[in-house]
Chain A
Amino acid sequence: MIEINLDKSSVRELNEKLQGGSVGDKFSINNTVGKHALSVGLTTDVDVEINGHVGYYCAGMNQKANIVINGNAGPGLAENMMSGEVRVTGNASQYAAATAHGGLLVIEGDSSSRCGISMKGVNIVVGGNIGHMSAFMAQSGCLVVCGDAGDALGDSIYEAKLYVRGKVKSLGTDCIEKEMRDEHKKELQQLLSQSKMSHGVEEFRRYGSARKLYNFDIDQVDDY
């Protein structure tokens, strides 16, 4: 275990060390005190444990690394992640996994507004609730919410799949409830076990795109 204390090391030194890690390396990071851009741009299969709260863009653009944050995360957690796994034991602020292309983000607590905005293939599992405008323009990947979803869920959604266990305050434009077929149950089951959530798949409903905004149609103009 390589320990990095942010009381002594700068963010630059931290990221340099993490980015230079070899497969299987294990890092433990302490004294984060909400610093920004921690553990960003990793490209190898290393294990990173961050003890404490983190600021903006933690785990940004992650590739392959396994990152666990024992605390809360600020805005833009795991933004544009490509692969690997990021887990936060507390809550996450706005825009978690924004535009992320792959990998798995697990938020054990709640996630604020715009969770999964423009997601492009990432899988996100939230243990608690998510805020308004989540999965806005979500393109692909899955967003699993074990609690409730806020206003305008999945507004202008493309091909992403949304699974919500609790209540949905309102659905955004062009987002509708869809049938849960076997393939969806299987997919959801896999995501729940991968993220170590114990709920049953039958407790969830699925939402996705009505695909009415895909090509401009003057008769849908009020929906834009």
Chain B
Amino acid sequence: MSKDNPTLIESATFPRHVIAEIQRAAKTGIYDIRGFGAKRDIPTFDDLVFLGASTSRYPLEGYREKCTTEVVLGNRFAKNPIHLKTPITIAGMSFGSLSAQAKESLGRGATIAGTSTTTGDGGMTPEERGHSKTLVYQYLPSRYGMNPDDLRKADAIEIVLGQGAKPGGGGMLLGQKISPRVAQMRNLPEGIDQRSACRHPDWTGPDDLEIKIQELREITNWEKPIYVKVGATRVFYDVTLAVKAGADVVVVDGMQGGTAATQDVFIEHVGIPTLPAVRMAVEALQEMDMHRKVQLIVSGGIRSGADVAKALALGADAVSIGTAALIALGDQSPEFDDEYKAIGSAAGFWDDYQAGNDPAGITTQDPELAKRLDPILGGRRLANYINVLTLELQTLARACGKSHVHNLEPEDMVALTIEAAAMAGVPLAGTDWIPGKGGI
């Protein structure tokens, strides 16, 4: 219903944004490609709350009593596991989708905060390696910029099978962002729309993956932890197979996870939310007696220390952030509102990461725009943000009486909705009812 004219009723089936999309499709003949993550309303960690300690359990004194946050990743087979001060890591985002300055900022911020950052499609840049104390190297289907020298320079290797924003889909980097440097790194002509394959070129199933992992270990002297990243769909089976194939760490990315450029229909309609994905992954690990032996990193829509605490309480060892890290660097900043408006968007709504004209200078290859982001300042902002999340996480863990954030457990939480109770496997608040318990 319109505010000004009560006789105007907006259709629930055809609201304005649906009408606008039909009009856009009719005009252009191409599906909508965009960045950011799913925008629809889905069950999230917001639907869970913690049961702070009182008589039955006692809390820890804030700022006084220790609540440690260190995490070790990849100690199953790797000689050199990763040690982090906080369980909040930076997700893989490609150079190409992001400017060199943005990649450098992520490295600087992660390093100050004592955590890791991750390369992405298109390979490793010297700026990124140089400014990241702990750098995870992604091994992707496209193998753009894949170089064994860089593999050996990395601290860990992440085999990407999928992404939450587009499980089963490949990548895209539209021509506007294929600058000479990006083109050269990817061995492609400048300015063409560049497609990244949706599956790896040299294996098909989990049995082959096991041999691939062996090969990567042989090339890197069994030193580096090997992560396997999957988009959340059939999480129980995918995690089981990744562990069987020999992964040290499994990364599960929920459907609301960010992307640089994906079809809107893919972002909104493929994959399952992060909330049930964590529980399913933990169940798979527990069933194999591998929980805490193979570490679980969860991503997709992590925004606050509360999200981190809830993911950990459900059994994750660490989380990864993408979109929130970009926002911390300056994405969506009101400072650029006029410029967002000039390109048909607004601060807080900007999702055209694929377009290359990002006013904040983050998702661009335009040297003038990219200059707007000062990597030192960006790194500082990101470190501040990670530190805030870590403090929030500790606050919640202490309130539940935990001296290490990994001691948080599902029993510390209840759900506010039946959906969240079923998905997360914790009781609906005020009841002992967990809908669907016993299923996977």
Please report A residues at the B interface, Cβ cutoff 8 Å: 11-12, 15-16, 19, 36-37, 40-41, 43, 55-57, 60-61, 63, 75-76, 79-80, 82, 94-95, 98-99, 101, 114, 117-118, 120-121, 136-137, 139-140, 156, 158-159, 214-216, 218, 221
Interface hit among B83-91, B185-193, B265-273, B405-413: B185-193
User: A98 to B211, Cβ gap below 8 A?
Assistant: no
B215 in contact with A140 (CB, 8 Å) = no
B219 within 8 A of A: yes
The answer on a CB contact under 8 Å between A16 and B211 is no
Decide if B201 is an interface residue (CB 8 Å cutoff). Answer: yes
B147 within 8 A of A: yes
- CB-CB under 8 A from B291, the residues of chain A are none
Min CB–CB distance A139 → chain B (angstroms):
5
Residues of A within 8 A of B220 (CB): 41
Chain A CB within 8 A of B214 CB: yes
Q: Which A residues are in CB contact (< 8 Å) with B130?
A: none
- In the complex, the answer to whether A98 meets B147 with C-beta atoms within 8 Å is no
Query: How far apart sit A80 and B216, CA to CA, in the bound complex (Å)?
Result: 12
Contact yes or no, B187 A121, CB < 8 A: yes
User: Chain A residues near B30 (CB, 8 Å)?
Assistant: 216, 218
Give the CA-CA distance A76 to B204 in the complex, in Å. Answer: 11
Can you list 23 residue pairs at the A/B interface with Cβ under 8 Å? Answer: A11-B214, A11-B218, A15-B218, A16-B221, A36-B215, A37-B215, A41-B148, A43-B148, A56-B208, A56-B215, A61-B219, A76-B203, A99-B146, A99-B202, A101-B187, A118-B142, A139-B188, A140-B187, A158-B189, A214-B175, A215-B175, A215-B191, A215-B193
Alpha-carbon separation in the docked complex, A140 to B192 (Å)? 15
Contacts of B147 in A (CB 8 A): 82, 101
Contact pick for A117, options B151, B187, B201, B219, CB 8 Å: B201
Question: Does the CB pair A57–B211 fall under 8 Å?
Answer: yes
The answer to whether the Cβ of B346 comes within 8 Å of any Cβ in the partner chain is: no
Q: Which 7 A-B pairs have the closest CB atoms?
A: A41-B219, A218-B29, A99-B143, A76-B202, A214-B192, A61-B148, A37-B215
B residues near A137, Cβ cutoff 8 Å: 195, 197
Least CB distance, A83 to chain B, in whole angstroms: 10
| B76 contacts chain A at the CB level, 8 A cutoff | no
Whether B218 contacts A216 by the Cβ 8 Å rule is no
> Whole-angstrom distance from the CB of A76 to the nearest CB of chain B?
4
Cβ of A73 to closest chain B Cβ, rounded Å: 13
Within 8 A of A (CB), among B169-213: 175, 186-189, 191-193, 195, 197, 201-203, 208, 211-212
Q: How far is the CB of A114 from chain B (nearest CB, A)?
A: 7
B218 contacts A214, C-beta separation under 8 Å: no
Contact check, A40 vs B193: say whether CB atoms are below 8 A apart: no
- The answer on a CB contact under 8 Å between B192 and A60 is no
User: Distance in Å from the Cβ of B269 to the closest Cβ of chain A?
Assistant: 20
Nearest CB of chain A from residue B357's CB, rounded to whole Å = 17
Which residue of the partner chain, among B143, B151, B211, contacts A120 with CB atoms under 8 Å?
A: B143
B211-231 near A? 1/0 per residue, CB < 8 Å: 110110011111000000000
Across the interface, A40 reaches (CB within 8 A) one of B187, B197, B203, B215, namely B215
When distances are taken between beta carbons in the complex, the residues of chain B under 8 Å from A56 are 203, 208, 211-212, 215
Nearest B residue to A62, CB-CB? B148
Tell me the smallest distance from the CB of A122 to a CB of chain B, in Å.
11
Contact of A118 among B148, B201, B219 (CB under 8 A): B201
Q: Are B215 and A117 in contact (CB under 8 A)?
A: no
A159 and B189 form a contact (CB under 8 A): yes
CB distance from B206 to the nearest CB of A (A): 14
Chain B residue with the shortest CB-CB distance to A15: B218
Alpha-carbon gap, A137 to B142, bound state (A): 10
Contacts of B192 in A (CB 8 A): 158, 214-215
How distant is the Cα of A15 from the Cα of B215 in the complex, in angstroms? 10
Q: Is B202 within 8 A of A40, CB to CB?
A: no
- Hey, which chain B residues are within 8 Å of A16, CB to CB? 221
A117 to B197, CA, bound (A): 11
Contact of A80 among B28, B143, B197, B214 (CB under 8 A): B143
B235-276 interface with A by 8 A CB criterion:
none
Contact call A37/B218, Cβ cutoff below 8 A = yes
Q: When chains A and B are docked, how far (Å) is the Cα of A4 from the Cα of B219?
A: 18
Cα separation A80 to B201 with both chains bound (whole Å) = 10
Report B102-144 residues with CB < 8 Å from chain A CB.
Answer: 142-143
Chain B residue contacts of A117, Cβ below 8 A: 201-202
Beta-carbon contact of A79 and B202 below 8 Å: yes
B186 partner residues in chain A, CB cutoff 8 A: 139
Bound form: Cα–Cα A61–B148 in Å:
6
Q: Separation in Å of the B134 CB from the closest CB of chain A?
A: 22
Q: A148 → chain B, closest Cβ, in Å? A: 22
A114: B residues at CB distance < 8 A: 201
A14 and chain B: residue at smallest CB distance: B218
Docked Cα-Cα span, A130 to B191, in Å, equals 32
Contacts of A120 in B (CB 8 A): 143, 187
Docked CA distance A59–B219 (Å): 10
Contacts of A101 in B (CB 8 A): 146-147, 187
What's the Cα separation between A80 and B141 when bound, in Å? 12
Contact, CB under 8 Å: A214 / B193: yes
Chain A CB within 10 A, most for which of B148, B192, B215: B215
Among B149, B175, B215, B222, the residue within 8 A (CB) of A57 is B215
What chain B residues lie within 8 Å of A43 (beta carbons)? 148
Q: How far is the CA of A136 from the CA of B211 in the complex (A)?
A: 23
Q: How far is the CA of A214 from the CA of B214 in the complex (A)?
A: 36
For residue A61, which residue of chain B has the nearest CB? B148
Given the complex of chains A and B, what is the CA–CA distance between A212 and B140 in angstroms? Answer: 26
